[in-house]
Amino acid sequence: MARTEMLPSFPIVIRPSKGWVPLQLHDLWEYRELIYFLAWRDLKVRYKQTFIGVAWVVLQPLLITLVFTIFFGHLGNIPSDSRNAPYIVFAFCGLLPWQLFAYALTNSSNSVVASERLITKVYFPRLVIPIAAVLSGLVDFALVSIVLAGMMVYFGIAPHRLWAIPFFVVMEIATALGVGLWLSALNVRYRDVRHTIPFLTQLWFFLSPVVYPSTFIPEEWRYFYGLNPMAGVIRGFRWALLGKSPALGAWIGVSIAITLVLLIGGLFYFRRMEKTFADVV
Amino acid sequence: MSEVAVSARGLGKLYFICERESYTMLRDGLTRALTAPLRLLKGKAPRTVSGLDAHTKVEFIWAVKDASFDLKQGEVVGIIGSNGSGKSTLLKIISRITEPTEGEARIYGRVGSLLEVGTGFHPELSGRENIYLNGAILGMRKAEIDRQFNAIVEFAEIEKFLDMPVKHYSSGMYTRLAFSVAAHLDPEILVVDEVLAVGDAAFQKKCLGKMGDVAKAGRTVLFVSHNMAVVENLCSRAIWLDSGRIQADGLVGNVVAKYIQSLSTRADQDLSLIKREGGLTPVIRKIEFLDESGLPATTTKVGSTLIVRVHYRHTEPLKNAYFGLRFETASGINVFWLQTRMQNAQLPDVLPASGIIECRIPELSLVPGLYFLTPGCGSGNTQLDVVPKAGQLQVVESDFFGTGKLPPQSLGLVVVDAAWEAVG
């Protein structure tokens, strides 16, 4: 039968594991459709029984940007770092990647605890859960991107380096997943994590150049600033989209390195902790 | 056909039960909170006792210990044992939900586990959507679900409600759909916990039929149930677990018989040692069965006299007391209920603080099978104690009708005498 070709190698050996365990990405690949289905469920459920449904996705960042523009742009006189983009576009261009990140981080950190029923009743690679939680934010991201595109058309801004956007999207997904893996595994044992997440995202928001340009940070501090991968991501977004803004700066390299450390460390830490999930959650 | 599907060697699972003392100093709590993440990062906390401090009492139990067995392809094996004997833990190890603490198992084939009906169902999603979601969770590919979709819907009999959110389904429809998805998973090895206790009799029968088909197709089935009739009907072999250890493994008839015998010897245990829940006090101490001549009995024949004695002990005399007894089947169906007030028993207004209450049932007209007794008692309008399934009674065949025939448990739970004649 057709089935035999998709069977993993047999026998499956069940025995106690010790310490660090291999990632077994092929096992994850076998379950790629489950990632899709879980992300799809997340989306479906999120906007069921809401009156204006998906319109919230677009309305929310628009209203927030409006508030930013009034308070930071006008009253606070914070400038845009691009000479051809007004503050409202500048802020929206920062908020777009930020919201994806904040959503992905929160959702993945809570994902394992929220999937308690699944974890205690069915086997599948546990990594599926936080990955699906992160990816379900991409649809919102795509919708809000259309609004940004419309805004750019309205203000006559041509994207300069559109080709670079996929790289920065991957980078921020990797960062969110990296942090989400750590926090979701910790959350199983210490439910305190759940309560620190809103605070963490808020703090992170102000540490990232969403409402202010990264040029606000003095030159000699930039490498230090780059330790926050989201600083690199948001800078990258503006650099790729708005044009007539300062060069990218080598400190982006620090952000990329941190992203990789967070992600790889997170993957191994999660795998190491996952065997206790079913007993503890 | 004699190839091995599952081979387990010395499987064991240790659980730690931590009981934290109720009062610890805030400072201790804070230091614990501050060092906890560090301890966790070292990865020690979940496994070793040394990660826990002096304020935490640690108890551990082996939920499963030294479990070794081989399952051959196409074998249908029932796992039996009382609550907490490690049946579910064993299934969880075999289906890779939890890791064993020691030992090893080799699995030759895809494992489908059905430990709960409707795992991952989302109430807001429609039946159609849930079929795909649940299928994917159980390990099916989308192409596979597409192929099986019509069969799943047909088996569940929900064609008309396919696009309705499952939160509007009746519980029967919900169960049917959930079982149907799992039944079409078609794995080499099917692991099923007691999930058939839910759902109506007709559907249960259909599910059992489906499981029989699965077995006939050469798949291996590992099946947990409290219903001995189902186990004997479906399985060729049974494994009896008690306190995590395999007590017997072999032909289903022999193992079930040994298990049932063990239940009746256990009737002597002191019930007041069992932990009570929900504000109940351990008043009921013991429940025992006597036959017509007043001799202790562990089994009773269909239609014979049964005497149930409830031994109790309380801290003070019982004023205006009442006692009750509930009989249920092994699959959890209540058969009947007896209570002193309902049956107008003439108990004294004040009962001594300790004593024995006797209930005489002149003719116990239950069909053969295993029954559980739940005694309860109270004083005035206050419920004092209930001990679920404190007594286990095996009703055995007798020639009740004088014809040598008795109805099977699937057709009814009671035997009732009747006169038949042709009148027209």
Residue in chain A lying closest to B192 (CA) = A121
d(CA A52, CA A58): 11
Helices (H), B95-141: 127-137
Answer whether A122 sits within 8 Å of B97, measured CB to CB.
Answer: yes
With CA atoms as reference, report the closest residue to A176 among A253, A108, A236, A125.
Answer: A108
Q: Are B173 and B156 in contact (CB under 8 A)?
A: yes
Mean pLDDT of B365-374: 88
Digit-coded pLDDT (tens) for B70-85: 999 888 899 998 777 8
d(CA B325, CA A215): 80
Cβ-Cβ contacts under 8 Å for B113 (sequence gap 6 or more): A121, A122, A123, B91, B94, B95, B97, B138, B190, B191, B192
Answer whether B136 sits within 8 Å of A34, measured CB to CB.
Answer: yes
Answer whether A118 sits within 8 Å of B119, measured CB to CB.
Answer: yes
Tell me the pLDDT of chain B averaged across its residues.
82
* Residue ranges per structural domain of chain A: 26-44+53-280
Look at residue A6 in the predicted model and tell me its pLDDT. Answer: 42
CA A88 to chain B, closest CA, distance in angstroms equals 38
Residue numbers of B between 7 and 26 with CB closer than 8 Å to A? 7, 15
Q: Which residues of A touch B132 (CB under 8 A)?
A: 37
Do B180 and B308 belong together in one domain? Answer: no
* Domain interval for residue B377: 271-400
Q: Does B51 touch chain A (CB under 8 A)?
A: no
Digit-coded pLDDT (tens) for B106-132: 999 888 888 887 788 888 899 999 999
Cβ-Cβ contacts under 8 Å for A188 (sequence gap 6 or more): A112, A113, A273, A276, A277, A280, A281
Cβ-Cβ contacts under 8 Å for B268 (sequence gap 6 or more): B286, B288
Q: Are B222 and B71 in contact (CB under 8 A)?
A: yes
pLDDT over 60 (residue B266):
no
Q: Does B139 touch chain A (CB under 8 A)?
A: yes
Do B172 and B113 belong together in one domain? Answer: yes
Q: Give the confidence band of A49 by pLDDT, cuts at 50, 70, 90.
A: low
Going by the DSSP 8-state scheme, the letter that residue A125 receives in this structure is -
CA atoms within 13 A on the CB side of B46: 24
Answer whether B107 sits within 8 Å of A10, measured CB to CB.
Answer: yes
Q: Which of B237, B262, B287 is the last residue of a domain?
A: B262
- Measure the CA dihedral B197/B203/B208/B211, to 10°: -110
Do B190 and B211 belong together in one domain? Answer: yes
A78-87, B46-55, B152-161: range with lowest mean pLDDT: B46-55
Q: Give the confidence band of A20 by pLDDT, cuts at 50, 70, 90.
A: confident
Cβ-Cβ contacts under 8 Å for B413 (sequence gap 6 or more): B329, B333, B335, B366, B367, B369
pLDDT over 60 (residue B46):
no
Mean pLDDT of B246-261: 88
Do B178 and B245 belong together in one domain? Answer: yes
Q: Are A23 and A271 in contact (CB under 8 A)?
A: yes
Q: Is A277 exposed, middle or buried (0-12, 13-18, 19+ CB in 10 A)?
A: buried
Do B257 and B283 belong together in one domain? Answer: no
With CA atoms as reference, report the closest residue to B301 among B310, B309, B289, B311.
Answer: B289
Q: Give the confidence band of B27 by pLDDT, cuts at 50, 70, 90.
A: low
Q: Which of A11, A36, A38 sits opposite B107 (nearest CB)?
A: A11
pLDDT over 90 (residue B279):
no
Distances (CA, A) of A236 to A58, A162, A229, B69, B93: 22, 11, 11, 59, 47
Look at residue B237 in the predicted model and tell me its pLDDT. Answer: 93
Give the best residue of B11, B141, B144, B168 to mutate against chain A (max A CB count within 10 A): B141
Q: Are A226 and A214 in contact (CB under 8 A)?
A: no
Look at residue B376 in the predicted model and tell me its pLDDT. Answer: 93
* Residue B30 is assigned to a structural domain of this protein: no
Mean pLDDT of B273-287: 80
Q: Which of A14, A33, A121 sits opposite B142 (nearest CB)?
A: A33
Mean pLDDT of B383-407: 84
Digit-coded pLDDT (tens) for B303-330: 899 999 999 999 899 999 999 999 988 7
pLDDT over 90 (residue A276):
no
Answer whether B40 sits within 8 Å of A31, measured CB to CB.
Answer: no
Which token pair is B336? 């009947």
Do B242 and B277 belong together in one domain? Answer: no
Do the strands B76-80 and B350-351 form a parallel or antiparallel pair, or are they unpaired? unpaired
* Residue B221 is assigned to a structural domain of this protein: yes
**β-pair partners for B326:** B337, B374
pLDDT over 60 (residue B69):
yes
Look at residue B50 in the predicted model and tell me its pLDDT. Answer: 43
A168-172, B4-8, B175-179: range with lowest mean pLDDT: B175-179
Q: Are A144 and B138 in contact (CB under 8 A)?
A: no
Q: Which residues of A touch B194 (CB under 8 A)?
A: none
Q: Are A249 and A223 in contact (CB under 8 A)?
A: no
d(CA A237, CA A231): 10
Rounded to 10°, the helix B201-216/B171-183 angle is: 0
Residue in chain B lying closest to A119 (CA) = B97
The CATH number assigned to the domain holding B217 equals: 3.40.50.300
**Please, which contacts does B247-255 make with residues 24 or more away whose CB atoms are closer than 8 Å?**
B247/B81, B249/B69, B252/B78, B255/B80
With CA atoms as reference, report the closest residue to B74 among B125, B149, B151, B2.
Answer: B2
Q: Give the confidence band of B1 by pLDDT, cuts at 50, 70, 90.
A: very low
Give the best residue of A279, A280, A281 to mutate against chain B (max B CB count within 10 A): A279
Look at residue A110 in the predicted model and tell me its pLDDT. Answer: 93
The CATH number assigned to the domain holding B364 equals: 2.70.50.60
Answer whether A14 sits within 8 Å of B99, measured CB to CB.
Answer: yes
Do the strands B102-107 and A12-14 form a parallel or antiparallel pair, or are they unpaired? antiparallel
Look at residue A2 in the predicted model and tell me its pLDDT. Answer: 38
Q: Which of B207, B233, B262 is the last residue of a domain?
A: B262
Q: Which residues of B touch A49 (CB under 8 A)?
A: 124
Q: Which residues of B touch A278 (CB under 8 A)?
A: 92, 97-98
Task: State chain A's maximal CA–CA distance in angstroms.
Answer: 70
* Residue B15 is assigned to a structural domain of this protein: no
Distances (CA, A) of B270 to B287, B384, B423: 9, 17, 56
Do B192 and B218 belong together in one domain? Answer: yes
Count of CB atoms situated within 10 Å of the CB of B51 = 15
CA A265 to chain B, closest CA, distance in angstroms equals 11
Q: Give the confidence band of B253 by pLDDT, cuts at 50, 70, 90.
A: confident
* Residue B302 is assigned to a structural domain of this protein: yes
pLDDT over 70 (residue B201):
no
Check residues A42 and B45 and name the one with the higher pLDDT.
Answer: A42
Domain count, chain B: 2
Cβ-Cβ contacts under 8 Å for A91 (sequence gap 6 or more): A65, A68, A69, A72, A73, A210, A211
Question: Taking CB atoms and an 8 Å cut-off, how many pairs form between chains A and B?
Answer: 119
Answer whether A189 sits within 8 Å of B33, measured CB to CB.
Answer: no
Digit-coded pLDDT (tens) for A197-227: 999 999 999 999 999 988 888 888 888 888 9
Look at residue B44 in the predicted model and tell me its pLDDT. Answer: 45
Do B245 and B296 belong together in one domain? Answer: no
Do B254 and B116 belong together in one domain? Answer: yes
Do B93 and B227 belong together in one domain? Answer: yes
Percentage of chain B surpassing pLDDT 90?
29
Answer whether A189 sits within 8 Å of B133, measured CB to CB.
Answer: no
| Interface ipTM above 0.90 | no
Mean pLDDT of B346-373: 90
Q: Give the confidence band of B58 by pLDDT, cuts at 50, 70, 90.
A: low
CA B381 to chain centroid, in Å, comes to 31
Cα B30-B33-B35 angle, rounded to 5 deg: 110
pLDDT over 60 (residue B219):
yes
Q: Are B93 and B14 in contact (CB under 8 A)?
A: no
Strand stretches in chain A, DSSP E: 12-14
Q: Give the confidence band of B48 by pLDDT, cuts at 50, 70, 90.
A: very low
**Please, which contacts does B417-420 make with residues 24 or more away whose CB atoms are closer than 8 Å?**
none
**Chain A residue set in contact with B, beta carbons under 8 Å:** 3, 6-7, 10-17, 19, 31, 33-34, 36-38, 41, 44-45, 48-49, 117-124, 186, 189-190, 192, 272-273, 275-276, 278-280
d(CA A143, CA A150): 11
Mean pLDDT of B66-71: 93
Digit-coded pLDDT (tens) for A243-273: 766 777 788 899 999 999 999 999 999 999 9
Residue numbers of B between 235 and 254 with CB closer than 8 Å to A? none
Look at residue B269 in the predicted model and tell me its pLDDT. Answer: 66
d(CA A127, CA A273): 11
A109: helix, strand or coil: helix
Helices (H), B58-158: 87-94, 127-137, 142-156
Q: Which of A10, A13, A120 sits opposite B97 (nearest CB)?
A: A120
d(CA B348, CA B354): 14
Sheet strand arrangement including B220-224: B111-114, B189-192, B220-224, B76-80, B237-242, B245-251
Cβ-Cβ contacts under 8 Å for A112 (sequence gap 6 or more): A119, A126, A129, A130, A184, A185, A187, A188, A277, A281
Phi/psi of residue B126, nearest 5 degrees = -75, 170
Q: Give the confidence band of B420 by pLDDT, cuts at 50, 70, 90.
A: very high
Q: Which of B262, B284, B308 is the last residue of a domain?
A: B262
